[in-house]
Amino acid sequence: MFKNTLKAIVCAMSFTVVGLAQAAEPVVIKFAHVVADNTPKGQGALLFKKLAEERLPGRVKVDVYPNSSLFGDGKEMDALMLGDVHMLAPSLSKFEHYAKPLQIFDLPFLFDDMAAVDRFQQSEAGQELLKAMLHKNILGLAYWHNGMRQLSANKPLREPRDARGLKFRVQASAVLDEQFKALRAIPRKMSFAEVYQGLQTGVVNGTENTWSNYESQKVNEVQKYITESNHGLIDYMVITNAQFWNDLPEDIRSELKEVLAEVSVEVNRHADELNAQSRARILEAGTTEILTLTPEERAEWREAMQPVWQKFSKEIGADLIEKAKASNL
Ligand code: LMR
């Protein structure tokens, strides 16, 4: 009699434990970024949410906050370190205060095309850079592409002297600051969310960004000319709070790693296409004249911006720069 009662109690307790486990709240991952959904990074964040919740039903919930709706430039990194947000994918231009070598991605005309960017990011040196901020409890999980930066203003920018005296919005990056000073222009650091209004009110006269960022933020409506310079890069590092990530249950962490690897392939495969579509929509809108450069004209911009390399070679590391240059075939 006693044995049956004991068995019944143990059985009931095991159901309770299982029941509690299954009823346990899902891990909530807050993923914040500063761009619109219809951009490479915006699509990547939504695909990550979709696949993570499909593969880990009831165990993981991903809340995506686009367009600086949770944290914007200047606040997102502190929020990540404090654990108020769990994943970000900031532009590689926004890490200079956390790891100087990451400034390499801002060197003008460093990469010939996105294929070269990809080769460098996937190389041993590029993968090593994912760990460059670990001393700040920031772990790089992946690189996501956007594309090459174009130049814009309300006057045609055909040769470097055309930029003289103009105020250009730049990301919070010393390299980009120096890039415009080399043109004898006036750089103005400004968060991404303020670019449209800054240009509309004349606080700044011009800026640089990718086609998808221009179009998704309607920046083309306040810029009469975009010069197709492809002079620099806007790419992203998907980052997380290392403590948060390492504290995840091992099976959840390994599944999320697989999801992220799949999402990264998709983001990087479609980034060029999304930027091409944005360029076409800008042309169609008729708001902005797109100026293309002859090889000789482009060489003049490259030469004018070249002094930036010398200024940052020591901070970034000459050998790292050589490795990045070698990614150009
Ligand atoms: C910018 O600030 O212009 C970009 O970093 C925005 C983005 O994340 O693409």
Q: What is the pLDDT of residue 276?
A: 98
Nearest CA to ligand 1 atom 2: 192
User: Per-residue pLDDT for 16 more than 90?
Assistant: no
What residue segments make up the domains of the chain, in order of their start? 2-323
Q: What is the DSSP string of 246-288?
A: HHS-HHHHHHHHHHHHHHHHHHHHHHHHHHHHHHHHHHHHTSS
Ligand 1 centroid, distance to 91 Cα (angstroms): 6
The pLDDT assigned to 6 comes to 59
**Ligand 1 and 173: CB distance under 6 A:** no
Cα separation of 162 and 291, whole Å?
Answer: 13
Q: Which of the four CATH numbers 3.30.70.20, 3.30.420.40, 3.40.190.170, 3.30.70.140 does domain 2-323 have?
A: 3.40.190.170
pLDDT band at 2 (very low <50, low <70, confident <90, very high): low
Report field, pTM of the whole predicted structure over 0.85:
yes
**Using a 6 Å cutoff on CB, does residue 34 contact ligand 1?**
yes
Mean pLDDT of the chain: 94
For residue 158, the tally of other CB atoms under 10 A from its CB is 16
User: Which residue owns the Cα nearest ligand 1 atom 1?
Assistant: 192
Asked if residue 92 has its Cβ within 6 Å of ligand 1, the reply is no
